[in-house]
Homo-oligomer: A and B are copies of this chain.
Amino acid sequence: MGKHYQALLEKINEIHDLEKSLWILSWDREVNMPSQGSAVRTQQMTTLRKLHHQLYTADKTGELIENAESELNGASYDSTEASLVRYLKRDYAETKQIPEDYVRRVSEVNGKALPAWKEAREQSDFSIFAPHLAAVIELSREEVEYREYEDEKYDALLKQYERGMTTADVRAVFDAVKEAVLPLIQAISEKNHLVDDSALHQPFDVNKQKETAPYFARAVGYDFDKGHLGTAAHPFAASFSRNDARITTRWNPNFLNPFLFGVMHECGHAMYEQGTGPELERTPLARGTSMGIHESQSRMFENLVGRSRGFWNTHYNHLQNAFPQQLGSISLEQFYRAINKVQPSFIRVEADELTYNMHIILRFELEQAMLNGDLEVNDVPTAWNDKMAELLGVTPANDAVGCLQDIHWTRPSFGYFPTYALGNFYSAQILEAAIKQSPQIETELARGQVDALHQWLRENIHQHGKKYDSAELITRATGRPLTHEPFVAYAHKKFGEIYQL
């Protein structure tokens, strides 16, 4: 390691510490902060964000990057050194484009939008949130001006979350999935009687849920010596280092799924961060490479593992023992079919594997319309409900379970939603490749074990962190770029069997 690289690394470590501190404040805000703490917390986060931006975008940082680059010459493309310099060079230039004042305003708008959204959702009153959404859209349009794009404005935002994919690319994959999956959803709707999921909708004691959750986190491979489970209204995972990657969940007293599959989902995210290479610690490479690849890991453990026959063959017993009154008389087969019921519904995070993608397509289309000025804020609830009817044939009972259900629009994050569906498609492609390379994985999964899968993921996905962009990573790991085919094949096989199609 040369002295210029060493100097760069020290600076980057500090900047990264500041960013992670901001994450700790943010996590705490969602999990522990009392209601009245919000105003000052926003100011504290604004200050940290501003200091981070100042330190990172200082000319000094640019010099350090340049000096380190000139010193690299021999380092291989795959080395940590070359990867870090490569990443920083691009990211530094892009971040310099964003004015400090803009960063401050994003923080302020978010600080006000978040409690307003919570109140709007509680009262199911979109008008409380509308002015804040208008402010978020304005900020998003401003951001487009700072970021380069070739064809569509939305491209400028999308690339922050899924580098290398354009809006047109995403549209093409989504269209292919829609073409293949909508007829499947339609066919299933005619066989609705084959699956009864009423067992999942019963009173489940919340304290018992809290006692049971760690078992299922461990069952998918989550390590509590490097993690923590908290409660949050809108669950998420957050990592403060590879040895402190946390999950959150919510507890629904009348529905089993939110905590059970929510925990496995967030574990997928957190385990990705726990698996990043130790040599990347305290650098911006120590995280998942893109939102889509990140989501592939959460969906892997929530769905491909967590909703599989093999998993429940092994673990159903434990769940039955935790809730004997509710599940004692429900057979394994009944339970397996229940948790895989396909049924159009309002809430994205509780949707099944097939209709979920339609929720995303809806948001993808509305976001473009808002950004391009084709949809006024006040018309969002109507547009939302119209699209729900078009794509899923259902109309939300109110805005709380409609356009107010997600936290995402409390800050400029257009372009984020599509990555959720991309995650589904990545996950199927990744598992297909993993099993082809290591048949042991399939053998283990059939017994509810995840060790071989984790080993493959760690080697081929996790350890690389942000060294490679998602397009490059998926090709290295699976031998080809993202395609909808493995997901469509998986969907037809699994749900064709369940619904006797």
Contact = CB atoms under 8 A, between A and B. Distances in A.
A212 to B, nearest CB: 15
Contact of A18 (B48, B224, B241, B246): B48
Interface stretch (A29-37, A62-70, A327-335): A29-37
Given A41-B240, A51-B51, A241-B41, A33 B225 contact: no
Contact of A21 (B32, B44, B226): B44
B230 A37 contact: no
B18 A226 contact: no
A20 interface: yes
Interface residues on A, range: 35 or more
Contacts of A28: 24, 28
A25 interface: yes
Contact of A37 (B13, B21, B207, B226): B226
Given A24-B24, A244-B34, A43 B226 contact: no
A281 interface: yes
A41 B244 contact: yes
A33 B240 CA distance: 10
A16 to B, nearest CB: 9
Interface in A18-62: 18, 20-21, 24-25, 28, 32-37, 39-41, 43-44, 46-48, 50-51
Given A20-B44, A47-B18, A244-B41, A34 B227 contact: yes
Number of copies: 2
A240 B47 CA distance: 14
Q: SS class of chain A's interface: helix, strand, loop or mixed?
A: helix
Nearest to A242: B40
Given A41-B241, A44-B21, A244-B41, A225 B281 contact: no
Contact of A48 (B13, B17, B36, B50): B17
B17 A44 contact: yes
Interface in A207-251: 207, 224-228, 230, 240-244, 246
Nearest to A17: B47
Contacts of A230: 32
Contacts of A242: 40
A229 to B, nearest CB: 10
Interface of A: 13-14, 17-18, 20-21, 24-25, 28, 32-37, 39-41, 43-44, 46-48, 50-51, 207, 224-228, 230, 240-244, 246, 281-282
29 contacts: A13-B43, A14-B51, A17-B43, A17-B44, A17-B47, A17-B48, A18-B48, A21-B25, A21-B47, A24-B44, A32-B246, A34-B225, A34-B226, A34-B227, A34-B228, A34-B246, A36-B225, A36-B243, A36-B244, A37-B240, A37-B243, A37-B244, A39-B241, A39-B243, A40-B242, A40-B243, A40-B282, A44-B240, A207-B207
Q: Which 6 A-B pairs have the closest CB atoms?
A: A37-B244, A40-B241, A17-B47, A36-B243, A17-B44, A36-B226
